[in-house]
Every structure is written in structure tokens, then in C-alpha cells.
Amino acid sequence: MSRRILLLGSTGSIGTQALDVISRSDDLEVVGLSAQTNWRQLVEQAVQHGVPRIAVTDLDLAAQAAEAWTDGEVLRGPEGLVQLVLESGADLVLNALVGSAGLGPTVATLGEGIDLALANKESLVVGGELVMALAEATGAQILPVDSEHSAIHQLVHGEHATGGLDSIEKLVLTASGGPFRGRSRAELEGVTIEQALAHPTWAMGGKITIDSATLMNKGLEVIEAHHLFGTPYERIGVVVHPQSIVHSLITLVDGAALAHLGHPDMRAPIAYALHHPQRVPLPLRPLDLAEVGSLTFEPVDTEAFPCLRMAIEAGTAGGTAPCVLNAANEIAVHAFLGGRLPFLGIPDVIAGALDALGSAPIRAFETLYEADREARAVAAELVEKVAA
């Protein structure tokens, strides 16, 4: 019997690779697709995979899609996206949306008790406490798709099977260091958009690539790991590993460490999440350590890359602080990509928003939506000041 997959964000990097994984499997079936703006590619995917129903988040573009594609149904806007989740009949939802827009579909998925393959780390950054409580209440599984969290999930699962989680001392996420590894803060003055988008090992979308260049992506991943694995921040570490062969590791109470290794290819963690608990063959190059030659590691320079430090501090503060951090980062990255903010202005805007808004207790999801709106407004004002 096929596992029915709903794929949100199917035209992005994770989404297209997920469709490649699904097309190679006889036991996975796509029952719905969504995109923010790229409706033409979305319709092509729907036709190719025999999907009768899609959702386009942008209302104007959704209208264009509905007019052009008459062989299926086009749901519109954020409400249409949630409707697609609720009515899809999916066994598993892969949330590959970018940014805090992924929180609503995550809540809808878990609220229905549907298992979630999560590539949208912002769902846990913004609403981790409530999201994890919702999953526990409904019994839905959250299967991480980020390569680092997929690695830790596999390592933790293996350790749990051999004697429990008390043996785990620390989780260690690896970071490639991005395109500016080794540069001082002074050397980051004036870097261009093209330079920031030139990631050395991973092919990703624009926003996450810039987050990797600032190391904010790794900060968001630390917050995500905290919620996924119930691990205190002081027991989560980050190490720079430019080859991106070791995807993450865990250290144990007896001094040993277990690591997950492989060539950087997102189809591996995607397939792990979609097929869990089974493993399936993939057309990926096996790892040959002699061919790789050497693996190197180095500490993070948080003076040159303060976003990682700010993210961990916001996560430790808790409440709405991670939500403010994420919203301000999205505004700052968008401004940088639009040529309205220098690269070093990104952490300045985030720091300003955190200073202005601090952290408040979270009482409900509406608290998060309000904090997100307020942080975006403050960050937009700061962009104008920093850029002036």
C-alpha cells in the first residue's frame, strides 16, 4: 500500500529533490502540491505526478493558475494551504516551505495527527514549545529533513535502541562555514549578493543560502535541535567542518562519539524521512574516505558571525525571543537580497529588533503571530536606519 505524501513548497530546492526521490519509489504517492509564487512549474509538477489539487499561496498568482489549469483544482492563499492539508488524506506531509509561513501548515498537520517530515525549521524556531506539545498530544511524528537533524535522529534512534538516551552527553551540529569561512568581520565589509550566494558545498534557495553565509542557519538549527531532541542548549555544540561529510555527531558519557557521514546530497535525508522506518536504495555515490583524503574541523568565529550567538541567546531566553529573531532575520535577508542593506547590516537589524522587543511569555499561537508582526515592523524601520 502506497504512503500518501503531501508536498508543501514543491518548486523549491527541497521540493524538487523530494519529487525525484518519490519518482524512484513504488510505495510513495503524491496527493497534493503547493508553491508560493511559481505556479507554472507547480502545474507542470501536478500534471507529471497526476495530482488533482494544488495550492498557490499568492492570491493573485493563484487566480492566474486557476485560469490556466482547468484540469484540476487550485486552492488559494494561506487558508487554501491549510485546507489542502486538512482535506488531502495524506499519511505524511513534507513541509518544505521557507520562513515562518510554514508554521500554519505545521500546526494544521500535527493538529490532524498526521506525521510531519519537517524541512521548515522556522516552525520550531518560532513555535517550538507549542508545536512539540501539539505533536505529543496527537501522537503525530516529526521527522527532521535538515541533513544535520536527520543525522542526529538516526544516531539518537540507534543509541536509544541499544540502551536509552541517558548515555548521550552532547549533540554536535556541523557547519560548512559558508562562503566566508575564515574571514574576519572587517573582511566582510562590502561583500556582494553574488558572493554570499556562492555556497561551497550545498545548492539551496536564496534565503537559506544567505542564512548559511551569516551562520544564522546554524543558529536556527540549534534551536530546532533543542526542541526536536529535548536537549538543553548547553549540551548542543557547533563545529565548522568545511567538507560537509560529517553531517552531525553525538558524544556519549563514556567519551566515545558517533558520527553520521556521507556526501552532501539532500536526497538522502529526504528519503529517510519519507520512507521511515525503512531505508531504500538511492543513486548516490558511496562514501570513500580514502578518496576524500582528509576531514577538518575548526571552532566558530562568533565575532565575525554574531548571528549564531544571537540565535542561541534568543533560544535560551525563550518566549517570543526566537520568533522576534526569526522575523527580523527574514526582513534583513530580504533587504540584503534586494540591495537595500549591506551584509553586515543583517546582524545589526536582528540585534536591534531583539533589543527593542525582548521576550514575552507565549500563551497561544496568536501570541507568536502578533510577535512576528511587531518584529517585522520594527526590523523594517531598522533596515531604513542601518541602510541610511
C-alpha span between 287 and 291 (Å, rounded)? 8
E strand or H helix that includes residue 193: helix 193-196
* Residue 95, annotated as binding a ligand: no
Peptide bond into 277 cis (omega under 30): yes
* pLDDT on residue 203: 62
Produce one character per residue of 192-215: b if its CB has 16 or more CB atoms within 10 Å, e if not.
eeeebbebebbebbbbbbbbbbbb
* pLDDT on residue 158: 81
How do strand 142-144 and strand 115-118 relate by DSSP bridges?
parallel
* pLDDT on residue 161: 59
10-residue averages of pLDDT along the chain (388 residues): 95 96 95 96 97 96 95 95 96 94 94 97 94 97 97 89 76 94 92 88 76 95 97 97 96 95 96 96 95 96 96 97 96 96 96 97 92 97 87
- Specify which residues 35 forms β-bridges with: 56
* Residue 14, annotated as binding a ligand: yes
* Residue 148, annotated as binding a ligand: yes
* pLDDT on residue 340: 95
* Residue 121, annotated as binding a ligand: yes
* Residue 12, annotated as binding a ligand: yes
* Residue 234, annotated as binding a ligand: no
* pLDDT on residue 207: 86
* Residue 147, annotated as binding a ligand: yes
C-alpha span between 250 and 346 (Å, rounded)? 31
Total-model pTM = 0.94
* Residue 226, annotated as binding a ligand: no
Distance from first CA to last CA of the chain, Å, rounded? 59
| CB-CB contact of 96 with 14 (8 Å) | yes
* Spatial CA neighbour of 58 closest among 42, 73, 74, 78: 78
* pLDDT on residue 201: 67
* Residue 120, annotated as binding a ligand: yes
* pLDDT on residue 277: 93
Q: Which domains does the chain have, with CATH numbers?
A: 3-144 (3.40.50.720)
State the cell numbers at 75: 486552492
CB-count burial class (<10 Å; 0-12, 13-18, 19+) for 106? buried
Residue type, 195: Q
Which residues are CB-neighbours of 203 under 8 A, at least 6 positions away?
A: 13
* Residue 158, annotated as binding a ligand: no
* Residue 170, annotated as binding a ligand: no
* Residue 212, annotated as binding a ligand: yes
